[in-house]
Amino acid sequence: MKPVYEPTIGMLPVDTSYCPGCGHGIAHKLIMECITEKGRLGDTIGVSPIGCSVVAHEFMNIEMCESAHGRASAVATGIKRVHPNHLVFSYQGDGDMASIGVTEIVHAAIRGEKITTFFINNAIFGMTGGQMAPTTLIGQKATTCIDGRKKEVNGMPIQMSEMLATIEGAVYIERVALNTPGNVRKAKKAVMKALEVQEKGLGFSLVEFISSCPTNWGLSPIDALKWVGDNMIPYYPLGVFRSPEGM
Amino acid sequence: MTEKVLMKGNEAFCEAAIRGGCRFYVGYPITPQSEIPEFMSHEMPKRGGTFIQAESELGSINIAYGIGCAGGNVFVSSASPGIALMQEGLSFLCSAEVPVVLLNVSRSGPGIGGIQPAQADYNQVTRGGGNGDYKIPVLAPSTMQEAVNIIYESFETADKLRNPVIILADGMMGQMMEPVTLPEPKQLYKDEADIPNYKPWALTGSKGKSHRNVIKSYRALPEDLEVHVNHLFEKYRKAEKDLVRYETINTKDAEIVFVAFGTMARIVSEVIEVLNAEGIKAGMIRPISLWPFPKAPFDELSPDKTKVVISTELNMGQMIFDVQLSLNGRIPVRLINRVGGIVPTTDEIVERAKKILGEIK
């Protein structure tokens, strides 16, 4: 009898350290399923960021390194230049990539580095305990904006996918969400496409995952998923922002 | 060995790196080393290597970290303020035990400072401007030939130690021309597929391996981090005796012993000749490795013979603390220095040294 579902061998058989309701577990699983299905676990190298997912290498069954805060896409650049035929990705949160690491991600895209970045946007600094991120929504409360983010004080939240899609070298940019089973299935397709773009050597690719952080949002996991649909997706619309012709 | 050629410092540094096994170069323009990325941009592709112009020095050192993680031999160059930006990366590289070779063609500071030669990066490179406990071997050549030899060897030194290695030159050395004999090119690994044989710890994909490699810096448990830092320092302690390098000139009977490295050592070697011709016995300890700092030649000095040790520096007195530590109060220590990018003349040092000797006596 053929099993309907099996855990992917791309994930190590251990519990993750992520909070209940956190999107990292789902994002990890989707990425590792895709790499496993491509038969490329043995020649994929990943870079983990600073943030809760610094320990992604404890869960992903591939060779990986950690990187300093915001620098993951620069590190992935170096790895890919040594192993141009390997799959190389950086996995970065919004504090890491959209704040301290903006320079590195923009220039990796400008150079058209043939790497893939998986960008987890939960609109908050998670590991440090819920401070405002560049992606924090207007009105959203965080420990460094306890009355909610204000446009006059903090400016508007940054839309990284839209911004990166203006760069010629960024050939595939898609934003997905992890809040419903349907969106999770679409997210997996986006991961597959981004990796295909890399395999074909077309340029830089990025998938932005709208994720949830129930712990720092002060919501239950179920309410957090609802909050994603009600508040995040309206400001961070899902879809493909850039794609090579014929893909 | 090939024939002698006349080369500009910055280009000789590059040639030595390429011949020493460098396969990747990462850099960002900054005076007085911009000839290095320029030279590498056209030479590396011709010689089977890769040139990357990074977006910043933060980008440089982190791209280099990625190259190092993946097992590539990588050369990075910059100048003082650029090295300051790389300190986060250097701390990280030491923690993660990833080799790179970094050349600092230093200039004067603080801040933007100026573009003229200085040695004001002594503390920055020997003490580490990054966070946490770590050490980086620092080598300070004083001739072009010595620079070529040191850079040529540094890729293997860094690989063996699994740690960055810094070469400290200055704007004077980068810009001047001197004849050098270039060593034969060597290959540290054949091609990408050969990396796992040369560096079994590198990230090359888990295919065909009994375990997957992970390169990390973060340790959540204090007990684990203490074990790791102790491991790093045990490694440094064992490496010290192979890394320490120095030269001594006439120190045995010298009344005045100068301590100088790099460009200053070139001037001090003339100062010694002038003083000796005038009947004042003078010598020099020339540290070539700034970390580990050579202590042995100081132990050999006798207070009966040597009246004063003069640290001669292009800064406000940075190496002088290592000189004092090495002498531990046995012999008076004084400083002769210029800053701002001014290099003193032989005559100036001779006069100041004679005055110091008079005061001591």
Residues 6 or more apart whose CB falls under 8 angstroms from that of A234 comprise none
A30-40: average pLDDT: 98
Task: Give the dihedral sign, CA A138/A143/A147/A151.
Answer: negative
Domain around B33:
3-195
Split into its structural domains, chain B has a count of 2
pLDDT in tens, B2-42: 679 999 999 999 999 999 999 999 999 999 999 999 999 99
The per-residue b/e assignment along B7-27, b for 16 or more CB within 10 angstroms, e otherwise, is bbbbbbbbbbbbbbbbbbbbb
Residue B239 lies in a domain: no
The CATH number given to whatever domain includes residue B92 is 3.40.50.970
User: What single letter denotes the amino acid at residue A223?
Assistant: D
A86 contacts in chain B (CB < 8 Å): 205
B288-305: average pLDDT: 98
Query: Is residue A10's pLDDT more than 90?
Result: yes
Shortest Cα–Cα distance, B52 to chain A (Å): 9
A43 contacts in chain B (CB < 8 Å): 205, 207
Same domain, B159 and B279: no
Across all residues in chain B, what is the average pLDDT? 97
Residues 6 or more apart whose CB falls under 8 angstroms from that of A20 comprise A214, A221
Contact between residue B73 and residue B22 where contact means Cβ atoms under 8 Å apart = yes
| A-to-B residue pairs, Cβ atoms closer than 8 angstroms | 126
The DSSP element (H or E) to which A92 belongs, if any, is: strand A87-93
B195 contacts in chain A (CB < 8 Å): 82
How far from the centroid of its chain's Cα atoms is residue B346's Cα?
25
* pLDDT for position A60: 98
Q: Which of B67, B162, B203, B209 best tests the A interface by mutation, with the highest count of A CBs <10 A?
A: B203
Tokens 């003349």 identify what position?
B345
Residue B1 pLDDT class (50, 70, 90 cuts): low
* pLDDT for position B171: 87
* pLDDT for position B2: 66
Q: Which of A35, A62, A81, A115 best tests the B interface by mutation, with the highest count of B CBs <10 A?
A: A81
Nearest to A96 by CA among A68, A116, A74: A68
Residue B201 lies in a domain: no
Residue B69 lies in a domain: yes
* pLDDT for position B3: 78
Residue B88 lies in a domain: yes
What is the Cα–Cα distance from A81 to A85, expressed in whole angstroms? 9
**Reduced 3-state DSSP string for chain B:** CCCEEEEEHHHHHHHHHHHCCCCEEEECCCCCCCHHHHHHHHHHHHCCCEEEECCCHHHHHHHHHHHHHCCCCEEEEECHHHHHHCHHHHHHHHHHCCCCEEEEEECECCCCCECCCCCCCHHHHHHHCCCCCCCCCEECCCCHHHHHHHHHHHHHHHHHHCCCEEEEEEHHHHHCEEEEECCCCCCCCCCHHHHHHHCCCCCCCCCCCCCCCEECCCCCCHHHHHHHHHHHHHHHHHHHHHHCCEEEECCCCCCEEEECCHHHHHHHHHHHHHHHHCCCCEEEEEECEEECCCCHHHHCCCCCCCCEEEEEECCCCCCHHHHHHHHCCCCCEEEEECCCCCCCCHHHHHHHHHHHHHHHC
Instruction: Count CB neighbours of A79 within 10 A.
Output: 32
- Whether the CB of A104 is below 8 Å from some CB of chain B: the reply is yes
Burial class (CB in 10 A: 0-12, 13-18, 19+), B348: middle
Residue B233 lies in a domain: no
B70-79: average pLDDT: 98
Residues 6 or more apart whose CB falls under 8 angstroms from that of B231 comprise none
Residue A2 pLDDT class (50, 70, 90 cuts): confident
Same domain, B100 and B187: yes
User: Could you tell me which residues of chain B have a Cβ less than 8 Å from any Cβ in chain A?
Assistant: 24, 26, 50, 52, 54-56, 58-59, 62-72, 74, 88-89, 92, 96, 192, 195, 203-208, 212-218, 220
B213 contacts in chain A (CB < 8 Å): 63
Paired residues of B215 in beta bridges: A65
Query: Is residue B56's pLDDT more than 80?
Result: yes
Interchain proximity B203–A45, CB inside 8 Å: yes
Query: Is residue B331's pLDDT more than 60?
Result: yes
Paired residues of A240 in beta bridges: A174
* pLDDT for position A244: 96
B297-311: average pLDDT: 98
Q: Roughly how many angstroms between the first and final C-alpha of chain B, as a whole number?
A: 50
Query: Is residue B155's pLDDT more than 80?
Result: yes
B63-77: average pLDDT: 98
Contact between residue A21 and residue A52 where contact means Cβ atoms under 8 Å apart = no
pLDDT in tens, A189-228: 999 999 999 999 999 999 999 999 999 999 999 999 999 9
Same domain, B282 and B158: no
Contact between residue A125 and residue A185 where contact means Cβ atoms under 8 Å apart = no
pTM metric for this prediction: 0.97
Query: Strands B289-291 and B138-139, how do they pair?
Result: antiparallel
B139-156: average pLDDT: 98
B151, B166, B195: which is the final residue of a domain?
A: B195
Query: Is residue A247's pLDDT more than 70?
Result: yes
pLDDT in tens, A111-133: 999 999 999 999 999 999 999 99
The CATH number given to whatever domain includes residue B332 is 3.40.50.920
Same domain, B42 and B125: yes
Same domain, B187 and B290: no
Same domain, B258 and B156: no
Residues constituting chain A: 247
A44 contacts in chain B (CB < 8 Å): 205
What is the Cα–Cα distance from B222 to B230, expressed in whole angstroms? 12
Residue B129 pLDDT class (50, 70, 90 cuts): confident
What is the Cα–Cα distance from B90 to B68, expressed in whole angstroms? 12
- Residue A51, helix vs strand vs coil: coil
Task: Please state the φ and ψ torsions of residue B312, each to the nearest 5 degrees.
Answer: -115, 110
Same domain, B251 and B190: no
Tokens 């400072």 identify what position?
B113
Paired residues of B308 in beta bridges: B256
Residues 6 or more apart whose CB falls under 8 angstroms from that of A230 comprise none
Same domain, B178 and B258: no
pLDDT in tens, A139-170: 999 999 999 999 999 999 999 999 999 999 99
Same domain, B15 and B141: yes
- Whether the CB of A12 is below 8 Å from some CB of chain B: the reply is no
* pLDDT for position A218: 97
Same domain, B167 and B32: yes
What is the Cα–Cα distance from A182 to B241, expressed in whole angstroms? 63
Residue B220 lies in a domain: no
Nearest to B150 by CA among B21, B20, B23, B1: B20
Nearest CA in chain A to B51: A81
Shortest Cα–Cα distance, A58 to chain B (Å): 9
The per-residue b/e assignment along B189-207, b for 16 or more CB within 10 angstroms, e otherwise, is beebeebbeebeebbbbbe
Which of A66, A80, A103 is nearest residue B217 as measured by Cβ atoms? Answer: A66
Shortest Cα–Cα distance, A10 to chain B (Å): 12
Residues 6 or more apart whose CB falls under 8 angstroms from that of B173 comprise B9, B105, B117, B141, B144, B147, B262, B263
Residue B93 lies in a domain: yes
* pLDDT for position A1: 83
Task: Please state the φ and ψ torsions of residue B282, each to the nearest 5 degrees.
Answer: -130, 145
Interchain proximity A107–B92, CB inside 8 Å: no
DSSP state of A143: T
Which of A43, A47, A64 is nearest residue B207 as measured by Cβ atoms? Answer: A43
pLDDT in tens, B166-180: 999 988 999 999 999
Which of A41, A55, A103 is nearest residue B56 as measured by Cβ atoms? Answer: A103
Same domain, B115 and B263: no
Residue B165 lies in a domain: yes
Instruction: Count CB neighbours of A186 within 10 A.
Output: 16
* pLDDT for position B361: 85
Contact between residue B173 and residue B9 where contact means Cβ atoms under 8 Å apart = yes
B207 contacts in chain A (CB < 8 Å): 42-43
Same domain, B286 and B175: no
Q: Which of B28, B93, B209, B215 best tests the A interface by mutation, with the highest count of A CBs <10 A?
A: B215
ipTM over 0.90? The verdict is: yes
